Amino acid sequence: MHITFGIGLISSLGTTDVDTPVGSIKFHITISVTPFLSCLADMDKMKVHYNNLTDLLIQHCITGEENTYPVIRKYGHPFLLLGGPEENLVHSFEKLNGIIECYLTDTELRRLHRRFGHPSADRLAKILSRSGHDFNRQAIKNLTKFCDSCQKYPKSPRRFKFNLKDDRNFNSCVYIDVLYIDEKQVLQVVDEATCVQAARWLKSMNAQEAWNSLRNCWIDVYLGPPDVIVHDAGTNFTGKEFKQSAIAMSITTKVAPTEAHHSIGLFERYHTPLRRAYEVISKELGGTKTDRTSLLQMAVKAVNDTAGPDDLIPTLLVFGAYPRMTESDPPTPSIFKRAAAIKAAMKEVRKLRAKEKV
């Protein structure tokens, strides 16, 4: 049989029947680099038409009903997924206002699997879920199952083991740094052992103001002065007043080297979650008369109540429980709004941390 299309006249080597969602279609095999092409004769025979505005293949049944099948646009052409290996091309699709969106391909999933150090299927699925990506869990399991490195270097049988770490408790070592929110200076304090944070607005950038803010938000609030304070090479922390005040309380101050590879981004990585939580809470409470000090405090609480990369919640590590509200004293409407804003900020912080991983 001779077939004529864009490249001219070509002979058919044979035929094959392929089961598709709309029915069985006979395809002719030719020596050409083309995918399976469905002709108008087959579409007329099966009463199928393609809606390019909604990317749907619509089939009219004898009963009068219409069956729709999603079509994926790739490389400027519409593709109908047949199932099986073809599903690896697009792992998930979502119908939003009649538009089918393509997310992670098989190549992208393999790249993520390698760059995350060949994690387990559940761990990779958890990261993708937190970052807001749709995925096919079975495809991730098959990817891990047939990975060459995962087959050669599997995990050893599970047994009881533990790691000995340095004996550091809460308030042993804290990091301090200054970030900018709405072009205003904010002093941020982070505990090294538990990642509990505190923050306070700064009126100026001098050393005495930095020390007073540190006392108001950390030293006079929790367990007193810490053993070690680590800061960058900023002038407000290396000033004479700040050092003398720290020595008077038997606090050791350390300056992180500017070009040290282990300290690059050590302070800045804590800025993004706090800044994002403040933006979400400010947007949620935009119609209320809430001052910026209260907004910053709620942002700090949202970050402290959110699980970190190790799934540990800083508030639980320090205090042992979440704060509770009694049933006899129902909250006011303003407290309801604040609780909703903090909840939205916690959700955004979780998503932000997962996106940074991906």
Question: Going by C-beta distance under 8 Å and a sequence separation of 6 or more, which residues neighbour residue 307?
Answer: 313, 350
- The angle subtended at Cα 251 by Cα 249 and Cα 256, nearest 5°, is 150
Q: Residue with structure tokens 């300056």?
A: 255
Cβ atoms 59, 22 nearer than 8 A: yes
Please state, for a pLDDT cut of 70, what percent of the chain lies above it: 74
Burial classification of residue 28, based on how many CB atoms lie within 10 Å of its CB (0-12 exposed, 13-18 middle, 19 or more buried): middle
Residue 88 is predicted with a pLDDT of: 41
173-357: which CATH topology?
Answer: Nucleotidyltransferase; domain 5 (3.30.420)
Q: What is the pLDDT along the chain (358 residues), one digit of tens a residue?
A: 655 555 567 777 888 888 887 888 887 787 776 666 777 777 888 888 888 888 888 888 877 788 888 887 777 778 777 754 444 444 344 443 444 444 577 888 888 888 888 888 888 888 888 777 777 888 888 888 888 888 887 766 666 665 555 666 788 889 998 888 888 899 999 988 888 889 999 988 888 888 999 999 999 888 888 988 988 877 778 888 888 888 998 888 888 776 555 555 667 788 888 888 888 888 888 767 778 888 888 888 888 887 765 667 777 777 777 655 545 444 545 656 666 777 777 777 777 767 776 6
Dihedral angle over CA of 317, 319, 325, 327, nearest 10: 100
pTM, entire model? 0.49
- Nearest residue to 124 (alpha-carbon basis) of 161, 91, 163, 164: 91
Contact 140, 116 (CB under 8 A): no
Whether the Cβ atoms of residue 199 and residue 218 lie closer than 8 Å to each other: no
Residue 62 CA to residue 45 CA, distance in Å, equals 13
Residue 351, both tokens: 């998503």
Pairing state between β 252-255 and 228-231? parallel
Model pLDDT, residue 105: 76
Give residue for tokens 């403040």.
Answer: 278
Provide the token pair at 323.
Answer: 């704060």
Helix (H, G, I), strand (E, B) or coil at 216: helix
| 206-221 pLDDT, tens digit each | 888 889 999 999 998 8
Domain ranges of the chain: 1-100, 103-154, 173-357
Write down the pLDDT at residue 85: 41
